[in-house]
Amino acid sequence: MYVNTRIIFLAVFLSLWTAWAHAGPKIQTWTTPNGSRVYYVPTEGLPLVDVRVVFDAGSARDGAQYGLATLTSGLLDTGAGEWNADAIAQRLEGVGARLSTGVSRDSAWLSLRTLTDTKLLDTALSTAREILAKPTFSETDFEREKKNLLLALKQREESPGDLAGIAFFQALYGDHPYAHPKDGDIATVDKLTRDDLRKFYQRYYVANNALVVIVGEVDKTQAESIADRLLSDLPKGEVPPNLPTVSQPQSAQTLRKTFPSEQTHIYSGLPSVRVADPDYFPLYVGNHILGGSGLVSRISEEVREKRGLSYSAYSYFYPFRVEGPFMLGLQTRNDQADQALQVLLDTLREFIAHGPTAKELEASKKNIIGGFALRLDSNQKLAEQVAAIASYGLPLDYLDTFIGKVEAVTAHDIQRAFQSRINPDRLQTILVGAGQSREK
Amino acid sequence: MALQRSFGLFILAAPLALHAAPPKISEFTLNNGLKVLVQEDHRAPVAVSQVWYKVGASYEHDGITGVSHMLEHMMFKGTKKHPPGEFSRIISANGGSENAFTGQDYTAYFQTLEQSRLPVSFELEADRMRNLRLLPDEFTKEQQVVLEERRMRTEDEPHAKLDEHFDALAYSNSPYKNPVIGWPDDVSHLTVDDLSAWYRQWYAPNNATLVVVGDVDPENVRKLAQKYFGPLKPSTLPAPKPRGEVEQLGIRRITVKLPAKLPFLTMGYKTPVLKGAAEAWEPYALEVLAGVLDGGSSARLESRLVRGQQIAASIGAGYDLNSRLPALFSVRGTPAQGKSVEDLEKAILAEIRQLQDQPAAADELERVKAQVLASKVYERDSIFYQAMQLGMTETVGLGWKTVGEYVDKINSVTPEQVQKVAKKYLVEDRLSIGHLDPLPIPEGQTAPEDRAPQGGQHVR
């Protein structure tokens, strides 16, 4: 039990853009007989392997049935083939394997970590294969998981931070599939049926819509066998259509929701950057200076270090398949919410107007480049990076060229990219809290 | 749903040769008393460096709770040599990541860096070990930051708030009754003098352990440690008072009423830990017992109470055998829809009774052991986690060798021993129970801003 005190937001963000090494590892790729793309990197030193199967089956594919992708993913390991949830868990845990499933807005995945000893690996793989290919979606499991999801959605309403996050995405995305929370709403989840889940599964959990990442102490032949075994029972199916593009909000909007908390949670931002965006590097390096580098960022300096207004204050770009959000955030005592918001927005405006100083740019590049080796220093981190490259179709030499691209960024590039992408007169701002101030 | 328990044949055989060489750990102590532990891991050109101080919230007395944590924040606020904020800027410019954390039994600082930058970290850590400057202006601002941290982590988090009230009830006089971050009134009335006295009392090389894990050569680390930390003067350290918890004389209950959406149940039994255990095997048996209840989705709580009887929406058991003082074996959960905390409490007590009445099945224990063995391999994927384990065991007074003994000790636990500790410790007179009783949250009004917020004017 400890209080982890200083920088909490560093680890939270999609690390696609913050995680490369001097010369990246060589990623080998091929396509399985039934159409799934495989990305493989061999590692040495520990007898383990991380396997990830990723589908374009995130909550952006929910349609009007918000929560469908989440509930489908949640049911996968509760019953498959001949096995119920107990049998599946006993098989996996008996060999020390760890399996999980999950969704984001863009993807659904199954992750498996297992030892590489043949017998253990075989048991883990045959279990994962059944989960992917023959989930049962039994009535009992469905009803139970749905009830538990409904409870979790209810619990969400006791968190001002969660409520602010939900309102933020709604404000940015309107009727786009990114707008609703990835776990859905009580009203929409309540209406879901087993049949809905089966249909979603059959449509999206197909070989052509899957990719496999394998990172660990296995050779190429073993990796080929792992991929084939995991996916050979899936039908080929079809790739889903592209997501619609996102339109920019026409004017600024500020929404306040009262909530009986001691702090007000604030988010402000815009839809901004796609994966593989041509302006990505200026935006990434620029944001590192503005609010992406923890305590040494401008926002943290202005909000926390100079004024003591918040424990954590930051800005980030989340690159999604189509325009993901640029987001500024903090949380502060209710009676100083307006002051803190003003400092946050002033800091952004100043940065957009004048760009970074030469010294700031140099310091940030030093951090990104000097910290290079840290970003791929475990099997786990490497697997995450390869999964990101794979899911977003980035070039295979992305790791090798990353440093060069960071080095090439100029202060002018940053200023131009921010000026063209972030119009502060169109920011969508959410404040939740401030309802019944218990201060004073 | 009937519980199936017939998959023993897949179980990982314990003595399996895991072809990962055991970690190589070097230990040495400088003349000023600083202990240094180095573990080589050459998979990536990276090293983590952690400085662990033998001080934390459980060393504090009434009126100054939170002082260890507050001091941790101020450790980033400058020395004679480096002005406020420069520590973080230097580490950042060297490509490093850094942080710090405070617990009941320790305060620790760390940097992760490309291995050749290790001297940068040593120079800065050695400097702030003895030369911190506590500036009143910086302190005033940082105190506000810590109060914000408390609001974020505790005041507006129903479960955290329940935990705080629960610990204050479960312990009579053990310092574990106080929150690490401190009670609000104490935190807002801490002074620079309080921090200064705390710093002088505890921050010294002979009260610290330096742990380095990564792509390093132990001999080189020894030279660097000698160069940067060697010149620091040791202190005369007070021995911490024992502060042994008085015997509990009956079940304790608390209800915490808070604006929240769902009820929540937390239960804790007073149990021994490795440090100071009368019977050395007992904490390991309790660890295995925690695994039988909560070692994954196949374990009893998830299998029987979430899936089988559907009494819990979520549930977990926890036990930390590495704390410095006796602590709680805890079980916590959210009742399923249509069930109450009382239903859940009864179901948990029935599970505990079963553990007392009959030994756990052989395959259940084998699954727990298989997971422990696999986890040992997975842990090696993180240099940070490996350093954490060495630093923590050393700092609470167990010694880092405890980490290496863990798998063997767990493997030697028998079903009868699990039953014995259940009978001896999971009993009513050691039990405290907390209920979170949700009060309605007033329906929030969402309103568009009626002022022009984007004009750039200052609101004062």
If pLDDT is split at 50, 70 and 90, which confidence band does B7 have?
A: very low
The pLDDT of residue A427 is: 98
> Is pLDDT at A289 greater than 90 in this prediction?
yes
Question: What pLDDT is attached to residue B9?
Answer: 35
* pLDDT tens for each residue of B395-409: 999 999 999 999 999
**What pLDDT does residue A276 have?**
87
What tens digit of pLDDT does each residue of A103-113 get?
999 999 999 99
Give the pLDDT confidence score for residue A304 in this predicted structure: 97
Q: Hey, which bits of B161-259 come out as E strands?
A: 208-214, 252-259
Query: How do strand A263-273 and strand A428-434 relate by DSSP bridges?
Result: antiparallel
Judge whether B241 is closer than 8 Å to chain A, CB to CB: no
Q: Do β-strands A210-216 and A48-55 pair in parallel, antiparallel, or remain unpaired?
A: antiparallel
* Chain B residues lying within 8 Å of A253, measured CB to CB: 448-449
Task: Work out the pLDDT band at B454, boundaries 50, 70, 90.
Answer: very low
On the 0-12 / 13-18 / 19+ scale of CB atoms within 10 A, B349 is: middle
Mean of the pLDDT values across residues A233-246? 97
pLDDT band at B338 (very low <50, low <70, confident <90, very high): very high
Q: Residue B444: its pLDDT value, please?
A: 74
Q: pLDDT digit string (tens) for A127-171?
A: 999 999 999 999 999 999 999 999 999 999 999 999 999 999 999
Q: Which H, E and C letters describe A92-130, residue by residue?
A: HHHCCCEEEEEECCCCEEEEEEEECCHHHHHHHHHHHHH
Q: How far is A314 from chain B (nearest CA, A)?
A: 15
The helix or strand, by DSSP H or E, that contains position B448, with its residue range, turns out to be strand B446-448
pLDDT (tens digit, 9 = 90+) per residue, B9-40?
Answer: 344 443 444 556 678 899 999 999 999 999 99
> What pLDDT, in 10s, does the model give residues A3-22?
333 333 322 232 322 333 35
Among A48, A341, A366, the residue with its CB nearest the CB of B93 is A366
- Among chain A residues, the shortest Cα distance to B70 is held by A5
On average, the pLDDT of chain B sits at 93
Choose among B391, B35, B409: nearest CA to B225.
B35
Instruction: Report the phi/psi class of residue B34: left, alpha or beta, with left for phi > 0 and alpha for psi in -120 to 50.
Output: beta
CB B456 within 8 A of CB A349: yes
Residue A439: the pLDDT is 38
A434: pLDDT confidence band, cut at 50, 70 and 90? confident
- With tokens 């949380």, the residue in question is A331
> Can you give the pLDDT at residue B77?
97
Residue B19: list chain A partners with CB under 8 A: 47
* Cβ-nearest to B93 among A252, A367, A427: A367
| Length in residues, chain B | 460
> Angle at CA B262, nearest 5°, toward B259 and B268?
100
Which of B72, B116, B144 best tests the A interface by mutation, with the highest count of A CBs <10 A? B144
Q: What tens digit of pLDDT does each residue of A341-356 get?
A: 999 999 999 999 999 9
Across the interface, whether the CB atoms of B148 and A311 are under 8 A apart is answered yes
Confidence of residue B56 (pLDDT cuts 50, 70, 90): very high
- More confident: B445 or A5: B445
Q: Is B148 a catalytic residue?
A: no
**What is the spatial distance between Cα B422 and Cα B413, in angstroms, rounded to a whole number?**
13
At B104, list the tokens.
């009941």
Query: Are B12 and A120 within 8 A, CB to CB?
Result: yes
pLDDT at residue A372, as a whole number: 82
CA distance A417 to chain B (A): 21
Please tell me which residue in B27, B40, B60, B72 is annotated as part of the active site: B72
Q: What is the pLDDT of residue A200?
A: 98
Look at residue B131 and tell me whether its pLDDT is greater than 70: yes
Q: Is the pLDDT of residue A227 over 60?
A: yes
pLDDT of residue A23: 63
Mean pLDDT for chain A overall: 92
Contact list in A for residue B302 (CB cut-off 8 A) is 89
Rounded mean pLDDT of B296-301? 97
Collect all residues of chain B within an 8 Å Cβ-Cβ radius of residue A77: 297
Q: Do A429 and B373 touch (CB under 8 A)?
A: no
pLDDT tier at B111, thresholds 50, 70, 90: very high
Shortest alpha-carbon distance between residue A1 and chain B (Å):
6
What was the pLDDT predicted at B442? 83
Residue A431 and residue A164 in contact, taking contact as beta carbons nearer than 8 Å? yes
Region B410-427: mean pLDDT is 98
Asked if pLDDT for residue B453 goes beyond 60, the answer is no
Chain B residue whose CA is closest to A345: B456
pLDDT > 90 in chain B, percent: 90
Chain A residues within 8 A of B444 when measuring between CB atoms:
163, 257-259, 432, 435
Q: Does residue A1 or residue B339 have the better pLDDT?
A: B339
d(CA B63, CA B313): 39
Q: How far is A242 from chain B (nearest CA, A)?
A: 33
Distance separating alpha carbons of residues A174 and A166, to the nearest angstrom: 12
- Condensed to tens digits (0 to 9), the pLDDT of residues A42-80 reads 999 999 999 999 999 999 999 999 999 999 999 999 999
- Of A413, A188, A421, nearest to A324 by C-alpha is A421
**Token pair for residue B260?**
């929240």
A to B CB pairs, distance under 8 Å: 320
pLDDT in tens, A248-280: 999 999 999 999 999 999 999 999 999 989 999
Q: Identify which of B103, B156, B446 has the shortest CB distance to residue A160.
A: B156
Dihedral sign (CA B351, B356, B359, B364) = positive
Distance (Å, rounded) from C-alpha B243 to C-alpha B239?
12
User: Are A338 and A34 within 8 A, CB to CB?
Assistant: no
A261 burial level (CB within 10 Å; 0-12, 13-18, 19+): buried
CB A116 within 8 A of CB A47: yes
Q: How confident is the model at residue B455 (pLDDT cuts 50, 70, 90)?
A: very low
Q: What percent of chain B has pLDDT above 70? A: 93
Check residue A50 and give left, alpha or beta (phi > 0: left; psi -120 to 50: alpha).
Answer: beta
A18: nearest Cα among A290, A402, A326: A402
**In Å, what is the CA distance from B267 to each residue of B319, B332, B430, B436?**
12, 6, 10, 12
CB contact under 8 A, A367 and B95: yes
Cβ burial A342-378 (10 Å sphere, 16+ → b, else e): bbbbebbbebbeebbeeebbebbbebbbbbbbbbbbb
Residues in contact with A91: Cβ distance below 8 Å, sequence separation at least 6, in sequence order: A83, A123, A124, A127, B7, B10
Instruction: Look at B453 and A97 and tell me if their CB atoms are within 8 Å.
Output: no
